[in-house]
Amino acid sequence: MAYLSVYTEAEAPRRVFVSGAESEIAGTLGDLGVGYSRWDVVDGLAADAPAAEVLAAYRAPIDALSAREGYVQVDVVAIHPSGDPGHAAPAAAARARFLSEHTHDDDEVRYFASGSGIFYLHIGDRVYAVLGERGDVLNVPRGTTHWFDMGTTPDFTAIRFFRDPEGWVGSFTGNPISGRIPDFDTIVRARAAAVSA
């Protein structure tokens, strides 16, 4: 289930809110125009299942969301750890592509079929770090300033939805704020420490 941390945008950011409660997360994001919901998880689907299997397993909710929101293309993006030492460089390169603040001309909609990643939404004078996990659906409206971090060891499978695949190309702001906000690994460690305390 998702986990939300909210930070100030200051030179020395301060965390001002944190929640792991679905209703609080949905309410907070909803007030910003960002959609958050959960789908029933399909049991028995391997974390690294092929794209065709993932799409087949979630066909009913995919079709319902696409019909309701007008999405015309759906695909799967997946990055998982590998025993191959050569895997680290491509995974690091994939992570680096999304770490700078940017916008899109289309909604960015993701369903986490396995693993996790954090969407950082820079809205007003706050940064909303939304940790999406298996079962979470996040809809970041077009034009929302954001970045995405999948951690130093990326491990996720996500279903992506598009109205216009060309609208997914990022327009980068040049703002270095992503370097000031705690990254994926830091937030995941802090959450684990809070749960075990």
pLDDT tens, residue by residue, 91-132: 788 888 889 999 999 999 999 999 999 999 999 999 999 999
Q: Whole-angstrom distance between the N-terminal and C-terminal Cα of the chain?
A: 19
Residue 97: per-residue pLDDT: 85
C-beta atoms surrounding 38 within 10 Å: 16
- pTM listed for this prediction: 0.94
Q: Note the pLDDT of residue 123.
A: 98
Report pLDDT for 168.
Answer: 66
Q: Write down the architecture of domain 3-196 according to CATH.
A: Sandwich (2.60)
| Token code pair at residue 156 | 């996720």
